[in-house]
Amino acid sequence: MEGVVTQFDQALRWGFILGEDSVDYWVHTSDVQGPRLVEGCKVRFVAGVARKRPRAYAVRRLEADA
């Protein structure tokens, strides 16, 4: 699935991705493969479900790190 990072806190190491299905997915730094996430970057990820909410796994940025 693809989406856009809507919020990411580097200090807390987590944030949210708005998926192409209009669902907000929680993401943790441990699930990010490649360059760190910043708000507004486009990503591809595997959608899953954690205990409390939808979660993004195997997250990769689609654009080069600026």
> Could you tell me if 14 and 53 are in contact, meaning their C-beta atoms sit under 8 angstroms apart?
no
Domains of the chain: 2-61 (2.40.50.140)
This prediction's pTM? 0.90
> Could you tell me if 18 and 3 are in contact, meaning their C-beta atoms sit under 8 angstroms apart?
yes
> pLDDT by residue (tens digit) across 21-63?
999 999 999 999 988 899 999 999 999 998 889 999 999 999 7
Read off the pLDDT of each residue in 1-14 and give the average, rounded to a whole number.
96
**What count of other Cβ atoms lies within 10 Å of the Cβ of residue 64?**
6
Q: Which pLDDT belongs to residue 13?
A: 95
Read off the pLDDT of each residue in 3-21 and give the average, rounded to a whole number.
97
Q: Which pLDDT belongs to residue 56?
A: 97
Instruction: Please enumerate in sequence order all residues whose Cβ is within 8 A of that of 62, keeping only pairs 6 or more positions apart, or say none.
Output: 2, 41, 42, 43, 44
Q: Which pLDDT belongs to residue 65?
A: 52
Give residue for tokens 């987590």. 14
